[in-house]
Chain A
Amino acid sequence: MPQASLKRLTWIFLRVGNLTFGGGDPTMAALQSELVLKRRWLDVEQYALIYGLARITPGTNLVAFSAAAAWQILGWPAAVLAVLAMTVPPSAVVVMLTSGYQSWNSNPLAMAAIGGSIAAASGMMATSAWQLLAPEIRPGRWLRAGVIFVASLVASLVYSMSPIAVLGLAALVGFLWQAAE
């Protein structure tokens, strides 16, 4: 199997990051296949630790995962290149899509299509919330999950509490109220 090099490693992040749709989990699964199974540049324990830490690192899980995996293999230069490979080209695509939205603003047919996509955004956001909530709805944990979900929704929607305060309070509750593993 080939030795790790900055060029090879950056190419993997560029290829996987820009050809995998669906966000963090599918992309991290593809990187697991490339870095752990095919090339063995990371072992399973390293991958598991990085995956777990990426979940608790502020920001986007996938970008943190890329930084840590590349750093573990080839140090800081690799971490920087991996993060750039993972974010800059898709950001250009995002800008083009946003620019398209602004350009097509006066075309009724384009706006009908965009309106359909924008309606879907509500469904996507609800899915995102569900994916965070669903793993905690199980015996021993559902009560805490329900209380925190409803309390944070009410605090934000009814009392306009700032999101950072809500998250800080939730962390405090988590320290004090530990549910079954």
Chain B
Amino acid sequence: MNLILLYLLLLKATATSFSGLTSMPVVYHDFVETRHVLTDRQLNAAVTAGRTAPGPNGLYVVSVGYFIAGVPGACAGCLAVITPAFLIIPMLRYLGARAAQPAVRSAIRCVMLAASGLVVSATVPLARDALTSPLAVGIAVASFLFLVFTKKDTVWVVLGSAAAGLAGKLL
């Protein structure tokens, strides 16, 4: 895939989202469903890599770029994460006061709510690919409960689930 097109598609995903994984529905739509240059399993692996590393959660986009076009693709992904961030500076200069207006706050909240529905929608096909055994389903449910109720770091989930997968193979 052409690197500029890859960058623009990843930028479309990051620039139309409002937090780390909420760009995933667009990534899924463009790369898995429409262009078939990424598999469900690779997208799952990208999310895991992004959540395992330190730094922003949205860096899974770097892994997506790497799967599609190697190191240059990863650079395109990193650039797509960086680019929209600078929009905040003109916003800080000119729009700071308006961010508190009730209609604007209400619209933003509704976008976040819709994003949560979209994330669930994107999770369904990925879960269908990944959750193919009772152990995998158990790991997914345990990960969800662990993260929601303990507020512990994601890295423990990744390490624990890897250990559970390994134990399932050895036992």
Contact = CB atoms under 8 A, between A and B. Distances in A.
Interface residues of B, number: 110
Given A91-B62, A178-B102, A130 B148 contact: yes
Contacts of A97: 48-49, 52-53, 63
A127 B148 contact: yes
Interface string B156-168: 0110111111101
B112 interface: yes
Interface in A44-64: 49-50, 52-64
Given A90-B55, A130-B116, A149-B117, A58 B50 contact: no
A11 to B, nearest CB: 16
Contacts of B116: 128-130, 132-133, 149, 152
Most B-side CB within 10 Å, residue of A17, A24, A94: A94
Interface of A: 17-24, 26-27, 49-50, 52-68, 71-72, 76, 79, 83-84, 86-91, 93-95, 97-99, 101, 108-109, 112-130, 132-133, 136, 144-145, 148-153, 155-157, 162-164, 166-167, 169-175, 177-179, 181
Interface of B: 12, 14-22, 24-26, 29, 41, 44-60, 62-63, 66-67, 71, 74, 77-78, 81-89, 91-92, 95-96, 99-100, 102-124, 126-127, 130-131, 135-137, 139-148, 153-155, 157-158, 160-166, 168-170
